[in-house]
Amino acid sequence: MHPTLNIAIRAARTAGRILMRYSERIDQLTIETKSRNDFVSEVDRAAEAAIVQELRSKFPDHAILGEEGGQQGGRSTEFEWIIDPLDGTTNYLHGFPQFSISIAMKYRGQLEHGVVYDPLREELFTATRGRGAHLNDRRLRVTKRLTMEGALLGTGIPYREQGHIDAYLGMLKAMLVDSAGVRRPGSAALDFAYVAAGRLDGFWELGLAPWDFAAGALLVTEAGGTVTDLAGGDRFMDTGNVVAGNLKLHAVMLERIRPFLGPALRF
Ligand code: IPD
Ligand code: CA
Ligand code: CA
């Protein structure tokens, strides 16, 4: 295993212990509202601080972007870490058991390492560019499903920004017609990991932030899948509009999405 990935794993496990410890007293947590339906708790902050501390002690020069603390690392223009210390905060705060920690590293703008950790199930999803994706020690592959028939899809239903809700609902309906169903688990990082693991055949969501899926996108591509924006292009890291899946089903998903792409959703 690559030594840098090992350090990311250690940081993710440390954050996992923090999430598990606080989960026993959710009702006593201090929670702030960042914007409508967007919450941050002392857990998000404590987990991020622990991850940043571990990364900084090993890589003092590396740039770090965390959801809660923004830019908080060194000045490197080559190495950048992208962290979501708790992906699925809404679930976590409700005691709904689906959340994760996401840590990615980019080298010269390209995703190099990714870790998504589910501390409840102790599932550790990892990927290094060119070396494949793994769940614990098992190598991951996306599914081979060719058509919507029988496909299980994941998504994220907009709950903060409602600007594209009609377009989104059109897409949802188009995906429901002949698939096996659509799931909305509530942690985008894990949704991508599940596509990599073949638990979901495909996934799409609008308006994600880079920390939600930087690690997940590498997991999917290293498991043989593909990730694009809504029009099949490569601007998903900027727009946060993403479609992921195996190559064939991904193409089918893009076809279903196309009729709902107004000018603001073409990327
Ligand atoms: C959220 C989760 C959710 C997705 C949202 C994200 P957070 O992250 O990934 O599944 O639908 O768009 O913001 O706020 O819980 O870290
Ligand atoms: Ca997130
Ligand atoms: Ca978060």
Q: Which domains does the chain have, with CATH numbers?
A: 3-139 (3.30.540.10), 152-265 (3.40.190.80)
CA distances from 240 to 44, 71, 99, 202 (A): 21, 19, 19, 16
| Atom 13 (ligand 1) nearest CA | 208
From first to last of its 267 residues, the chain has per-residue pLDDT tens of 899 999 999 999 999 999 999 998 888 888 888 777 677 788 999 999 999 999 999 999 999 999 999 998 889 999 999 999 999 999 999 999 999 999 999 999 999 999 999 999 999 999 999 999 999 999 999 999 999 999 999 999 988 777 899 999 999 999 999 999 999 999 999 999 999 999 999 999 999 999 999 999 999 999 999 999 999 999 999 999 999 999 999 999 999 999 999 888 877
Residue 145 burial by Cβ neighbours in a 10 Å radius (0-12, 13-18, 19+): buried
pLDDT of residue 267: 77
Q: Separation of 85 CA from ligand 3 center, angstroms?
A: 6
Of 91, 208, 213, the one to substitute when testing ligand 1's pocket (max ligand atoms within 8 A of C-beta) is: 208
Q: Whose C-alpha lies nearest to ligand 1, atom 16?
A: 87
Pocket test for ligand 1, best of 91, 204, 212, 241 (most atoms within 8 A of CB): 212
Q: Is the dihedral of CA 104, 254, 206, 190 positive or negative?
A: negative
Other Cβ atoms closer than 10 A to 136: 9
State both tokens at 227.
């990730």
| pLDDT for the residue numbered 217 | 98
Q: Which amino acids bring their CB within 6 angstroms of ligand 1? A: 84, 87-90, 156, 186-188, 205, 208, 212
Closest ligand 1 atom, CA of 211? Answer: 16
CA-based angle 145:149:153, to the nearest 5? 70
Residues 6+ apart with CB under 8 A from 110: 129
DSSP string, 183-229: E--S-HHHHHHHHHTTSSSEEEESS--HHHHHHHHHHHHHTT-EEE-
Quick one: pLDDT at residue 10?
98
What is the structure's pLDDT at 244? Answer: 98
pLDDT at res. 65? 97
Tally of CA atoms within 13 A in the half-sphere of 64 that contains its CB: 27
CB 83 within 8 A of CB 103: yes
Check if the beta carbon of residue 191 is closer than 8 Å to that of residue 242: no
Q: Which residue has the tokens 């409508």?
A: 36
Place of tokens 């603001």: 264
Strand positions, DSSP E, 44-99? 63-66, 70-71, 79-87
Alpha-carbon torsion, ordered 260, 156, 246, 182, to 10 deg? -90
Task: Please state, in angstroms and rounded to a whole number, the distance separating the CA atoms of residues 267 and 265.
Answer: 6
Please give the distance of CA 164 from its chain centroid, rounded to a whole number: 20
Q: What is the DSSP letter of 24?
A: G
Ligand 3 (ion): residues with CB under 5 Å are: 67, 84, 86
178 CA distance to ligand 3 middle (Å) = 33
Q: What is the pTM of this model?
A: 0.96
